[in-house]
């Protein structure tokens, strides 16, 4: 069985965790391949809600092996806090695997993240302040500390000495902050080694052998296409590759084994942090979407910016990722609106754009061109087929599908685990 990637097709928070959960027991491995604890998935099982940050959502499926891939940056304190919280609730985490090549977030990177944002002032990027960007920068600068380094005292000591030669100068001379000592950092990181050891593996080898055996490997993105460091709304992006290409580099699975790419889109659009957002609403409709959809960050608790569905972005995500199937989530949030606008193009200084403008300035000044679809008032949370939806809700799904560049294979109609209409099988 080939590998399947689940990709956020907007600015994140689309419901990737639920989409993963829909595939259920047919998935043998779920792999987080990028990001860190700067994003989260919320999964509802019965009357229980689980907020996951570093752990792949497959951790909640008995028998499924969750894997944190080499493309992830790991805050070890957060990892064990999350493991402990789940185990206290009766969730078995013993199958978890962690790539030996994943990079570790050290305390100096958390400090640098926060002070840099304060230093930027009005030019800030809106990071979560969790050290994600500085850790990826260390990785690219080849001064990063990897999980495997924690098991060799000499290598760990040498790497920490090397990185603090640079980071210490930056913290003290630019930001007027006390730099930690080499001993502090070594002691902090080495303290996790014994507990970490049972989880650590060659994740690329593990996953390729699983595919050789005919098992199903699901690759689960953190963040989303418009936050991808290459293909997103730069510089208001994350520091990793959140697209289908990143699924391969962040897991060690080669591209030819990636058979299906599932893009997750919300029935409207949200984003957190700074940056352009053409369909953003600053009125009562935006507040309605925020309150009805509970649009508050899983990781940060920040209010999400809300706007109407944007088919320009959907088409872009379909193209960049090679999306084979879309999952449309939170259709129920639109219930009760007299009409539902859908952005079909942008107007930029009198020129119509049906594809993403090539430069950032045009995108920043893009004015959405809307098509208005009739709304519906009926409760749709119990619908399990398209035929059970009100006619106007069906028409909305059909029109969004027509404009988005790939078929819609599943529709989320409520927060419950089973509140999903499956139109086409995702495996």
Strands (E) in 224-322, as ranges, are 258-266, 269-271, 305-307, 309-310
CA 189 to chain centre: 26
Residue of 13, 28, 310, 325 marked active site: 13
CA 71 to chain centre: 13
Dihedral angle of Cα 63, 210, 317, 371, to the nearest 10 degrees: -40
Residue of 21, 28, 41, 231 marked active site: 41
- Helix H or strand E encompassing 32: strand 29-32
Angle subtended by helix axes 153-169 and 182-190, to nearest 10: 130
Helix, strand, coil content of the chain in percent (nearest 5)? 40, 20, 40
- Find the DSSP H helices in 59-121: 76-88, 107-120
**Residue 13 is among the residues annotated as catalytic for this protein:** yes
- Cα 265 from Cα 290, distance rounded (Å): 16
- Cα 42 from Cα 330, distance rounded (Å): 13
DSSP 209: H
Strands (E) in 246-380, as ranges, are 258-266, 269-271, 305-307, 309-310, 325-329, 339-348, 351-353, 367-374
Q: Which of 99, 57, 91, 94 shows the shortest CA–CA distance to 74?
A: 99
**Residue 113 is among the residues annotated as catalytic for this protein:** no
User: Is the distance from CB of 220 to CB of 31 less than 8 angstroms?
Assistant: yes
Active site residues: 13, 41
């Amino acid at each position: 069985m080939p590998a399947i990637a689940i990709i956020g097709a907007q600015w994140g928070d689309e419901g990737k965790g639920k989409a993963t959960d829909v595939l259920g027991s047919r998935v043998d491995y779920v792999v987080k391949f990028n990001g860190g604890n700067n994003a989260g998935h919320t999964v509802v099982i019965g009357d229980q809600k689980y907020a996951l940050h570093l752990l792949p959502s497959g951790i909640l499926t008995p028998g499924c092996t969750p894997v944190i891939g080499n493309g992830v940056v790991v805050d070890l304190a957060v990892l064990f806090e999350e493991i402990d919280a789940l185990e206290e609730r009766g969730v078995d985490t013993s199958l978890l695997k962690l790539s030996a090549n994943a990079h570790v977030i050290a305390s100096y990177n958390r400090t640098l993240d926060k002070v840099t944002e304060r230093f930027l002032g009005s030019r800030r990027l809106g990071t979560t302040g969790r050290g994600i960007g500085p850790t990826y920068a260390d990785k690219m600068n080849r001064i990063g500390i990897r999980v495997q380094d924690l098991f060799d005292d000499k290598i760990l000591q040498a790497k920490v000495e090397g990185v603090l030669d640079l980071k210490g100068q930056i913290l003290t001379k630019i930001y007027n902050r006390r730099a930690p000592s080499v001993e502090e950092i070594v002691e902090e990181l080495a303290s996790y080694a014994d507990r970490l050891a049972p989880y650590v593996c060659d994740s690329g080898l593990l996953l390729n052998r699983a595919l050789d055996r005919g098992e199903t490997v699901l690759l689960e993105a953190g963040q989303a296409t418009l936050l991808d460091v290459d293909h997103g709304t730069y510089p208001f992006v994350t520091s990793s590759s959140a697209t289908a290409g990143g699924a391969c580099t962040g897991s060690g699975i080669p591209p030819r084994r990636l058979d299906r790419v599932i893009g997750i889109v919300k029935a409207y659009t949200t984003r957190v942090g700074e940056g352009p957002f053409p369909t953003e609403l600053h009125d009562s409709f935006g507040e309605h979407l925020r309150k009805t959809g509970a649009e508050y960050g899983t990781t940060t608790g920040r209010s999400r910016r809300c706007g109407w569905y944007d088919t320009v972005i959907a088409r872009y995500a379909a193209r960049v990722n090679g999306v084979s199937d879309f999952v449309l989530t939170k259709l129920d949030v639109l219930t009760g609106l007299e009409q539902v606008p859908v952005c079909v193009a942008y107007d930029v200084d009198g020129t119509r754009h049906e594809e993403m403008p090539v430069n950032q300035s045009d995108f920043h000044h893009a004015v959405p061109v809307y098509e208005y679809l009739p709304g519906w008032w009926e409760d749709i949370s119990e619908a399990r087929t398209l035929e059970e939806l009100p006619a106007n809700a069906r028409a909305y799904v059909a029109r969004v599908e027509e404009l988005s560049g790939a078929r819609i294979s599943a529709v989320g109609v409520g927060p419950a685990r089973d509140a999903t209409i499956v139109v086409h099988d995702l495996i």
